[in-house]
Structure 1
Amino acid sequence: MSTLKGSCRLGLDQARERSVLADGRLRMQLSEDLGQCHSELFQLEQGLSLGRLHYHPLRPLIEETCGPHDGHVMVVTIGLQGKSGFTGKDGNHLAFEAGHTTITAFKATPGERRYQANQTASQLRLVIDEQTLRKYVGEDRAAQVLGTGHLHRLDFRPSSQAAQAHAAALVRYLQPGLLNPANRLDLHIHTLSLLAEQFNLLAPQDSISSALSSSDVERIERARNLLCEHLHQPLTVEYLATAVGMNEHKLKEGFRHLFDSTPARMLLDMRMRKAMTLLESGQQVAQAAWQVGYKYPNNFTVAFTRYFGRAPKSIFGKKR
């Protein structure tokens, strides 16, 4: 570690304290002499991870990096507080700022991260590798975005309301004690919804690019968010369309093009997956039914059995 004109430079060869927390997240902590500076990474599935960065250095900090992610990745960074910057060895510069979304694609890229003294930089990161991105969006659209592997800034723009809402939910679930199996479904839903919003703005499908504007896509994403956030309520297409300011036909067409589903089918999928998680965590059938919008347990039992091919009583209290 060296000091240059009041700044602190942390080289690649200098140790960072690494630890694996009880909930499985990987934590990297800098020396307390530098201030409160740490980052965490949690793997949701193979090739898809969530990261949280929180740096508050006591002096201007320059941290050398070679890119912490293996292979070719796309990274969506939501700025939560403050700002920081990255300058690659090739001269490319990236900015990360509160209230803004930065999207990049790269392979391991050497460079320097820069943080201001006595200023907090807090960011949420979604990291998806090439293979997983291809699985979700197809080879052509993934290749369109990922490029050749050189550092590529795909976008830097103010975060949408939907992105901020998903980020707030994910930050909440990443708090100590909340990163548990009972919350994994919600964690996945918010992560994939955030990814879908950003990717559809970057590389809209040809079939919808002329029919749906970016504001239309955001409205449709907000409608899906409402489904996710209000599983216990009776939601209709009419209500969703009114809530997001879109006519019913266009909303249904948007769901079909963006998600290959309908609002009713997506609501059923979300409810059944949530119910499965609740039952596996030990909740009784009536409790699970009420939390996913079924007033009468018998109706829930019929819907659950039709969906999964087995009765909810066969799941209650069991762990996978």
Structure 2
Amino acid sequence: MAALQRISQSYRVASTHSRLVSTEACGWMRQQLPEELGECYSERLTFDDDLLVVRSRYRPTRNLIEETISPHNRHMLVITFGMQGNSGYKGTDGSAVSFRAGFTTITSFQLSLGERCYEAGATVCQLRLLIGESLLNKYIGEQRARQLLGNGNVRQLAFQKTSAAGASHASALTHQLNQGVTGTLEMHIHTLSLLSEQLKLLSPDTRPENLQFSATDIEKLDRARDIMIEQMDQPLTVTYLCAAVGLNEFKLKEGLHYRFNSTPYRMLHEIRMRKAFTLLESGCQVAQAAYQVGYKFPNNFSVAFTRFFGKPPKSVFGKRR
């Protein structure tokens, strides 16, 4: 009876209800409900037509039911990371999806009509990745993409506790937004790392008996090495490299061993150390060299450099050949 009373007292927001729309300097597009309803907004960043990040924060002053209509009208996979609080979605087709803090929910749909429910005074923060069909085809193949996307109705594909790595990437994306970060490269890395982890869970790799590398695979492996060189100052991960070049983790690791007799970690570490040596030789200070090759803390860099070369970075600083 109490639950029915709360629903009857809820304030309903139609999809046509006026929302304040603005574009932030860092490229995020913000939609906000009127202030009298509380702090209720969502922000969207578009990397391309098939990859979007949406961050939402709702703290309504009253029980709130918000009507939602998908603006995409195409097959989408949605990965939702619950950052704080709980909320629910009810579809007109009878579907129901729950979102909880500390859990990752994966759904798929083509056209979703329904409503989201929020409790008065409770804060709900969520981070969503929206992935289109063509990007899924690229990463997991057309057959598996069709299986996940289904017939277009809202489907819940997974609901599991967010991993430590996933929580770290999601928190980093949220932190960058709070800091008003203008560059999107690091955001893209965190986003693809999140995506790759979840796609791996949905479509686990199978180890082939005889692994072959095509000319296209070789190009992708070379591209992975180039990304390490070009972005060595960024927090690169294996999952990001896999997503960036379009190889699964097993094939990337085996391919780097096949082509370069190395592993992703060892290759990146060697690229960073040799670049750091060149920077120090040219007169770059230790802290500056550390930052340029991806180390936030100079002490950690000094330890790694000394282990790699057998001598500390200060012994190289300012030397000429």
Name the SS for the 1:195 alignment partner.
helix
2:193 alignment counterpart: 193
2:250 alignment counterpart: 256
Q: Given the two structures, how large is their TM-score scaled by the length of structure 1? A: 0.67
Asked whether the 8 Å contact 1:55–1:121 carries over to 2, the reply is yes
Taking the aligned partners of 1:46 and 1:172, their CA distance within structure 2 comes to 24
1:217-246 residue CA offsets vs partner (Å, 9 max, x unmatched): xxxxxxxxxx9xxx67xxxxxxx9xxxxxx
Does 1:67 pair with 2:75? no
The structure with the largest alpha-carbon Rg is: 2
Change (3 A) 1:177 1:33: same
Q: Which amino acid aligns with 1:263?
A: P
Asked whether the 8 Å contact 1:255–1:263 carries over to 2, the reply is no
- RMSD across aligned positions (CA): 3.4
Taking the aligned partners of 1:270 and 1:34, their CA distance within structure 2 comes to 52
Deviation at 1:258, TM superposition (A): 6.3
Asked whether the 8 Å contact 2:140–2:203 carries over to 1, the reply is no
Asked whether the 8 Å contact 1:29–1:39 carries over to 2, the reply is yes
1:161 alignment counterpart: 164
> Within 5 A, what are the aligned runs for 1:1-320?
5-178=8-181, 180-181=182-183, 184-207=184-207, 255-257=249-251, 261=256, 262-264=263-265, 267=268, 286=284, 287=288, 291-292=292-293
1:224 alignment counterpart: none
Deviation at 1:204, TM superposition (A): 1.1
Out of 127-136 and 30-39, give the one that drifted further.
127-136
Aligned length: 243
Provide structure 2 residue ranges, at least 5 long, that are not aligned to the other structure.
1-5, 209-227, 239-247, 257-262, 277-281, 296-300, 306-321
Asked whether the 8 Å contact 2:207–2:250 carries over to 1, the reply is no
Asked whether the 8 Å contact 1:144–1:203 carries over to 2, the reply is no
Asked whether the 8 Å contact 1:51–1:125 carries over to 2, the reply is yes
Name the SS for the 1:174 alignment partner.
helix
Name the SS for the 1:148 alignment partner.
coil
Deviation at 1:64, TM superposition (A): 0.6
Taking the aligned partners of 2:60 and 2:47, their CA distance within structure 1 comes to 29
Name the SS for the 2:186 alignment partner.
helix
1:249 alignment counterpart: none
Taking the aligned partners of 1:266 and 1:44, their CA distance within structure 2 comes to 28
Taking the aligned partners of 2:131 and 2:271, their CA distance within structure 1 comes to 23
Q: Given the two structures, how large is their TM-score scaled by the length of structure 2? A: 0.67
Deviation at 1:173, TM superposition (A): 1.5
Taking the aligned partners of 2:272 and 2:88, their CA distance within structure 1 comes to 41
1:156-198 residue CA offsets vs partner (Å, 9 max, x unmatched): 11111111111111111222421x22xx322122111111111
Taking the aligned partners of 2:81 and 2:128, their CA distance within structure 1 comes to 6
Name the SS for the 1:187 alignment partner.
helix
Q: Which amino acid aligns with 2:250?
A: R
Asked whether the 8 Å contact 1:163–1:194 carries over to 2, the reply is yes
1:35-72 residue CA offsets vs partner (Å, 9 max, x unmatched): 11000000123311111000000111001111243411
Asked whether the 8 Å contact 2:172–2:190 carries over to 1, the reply is yes
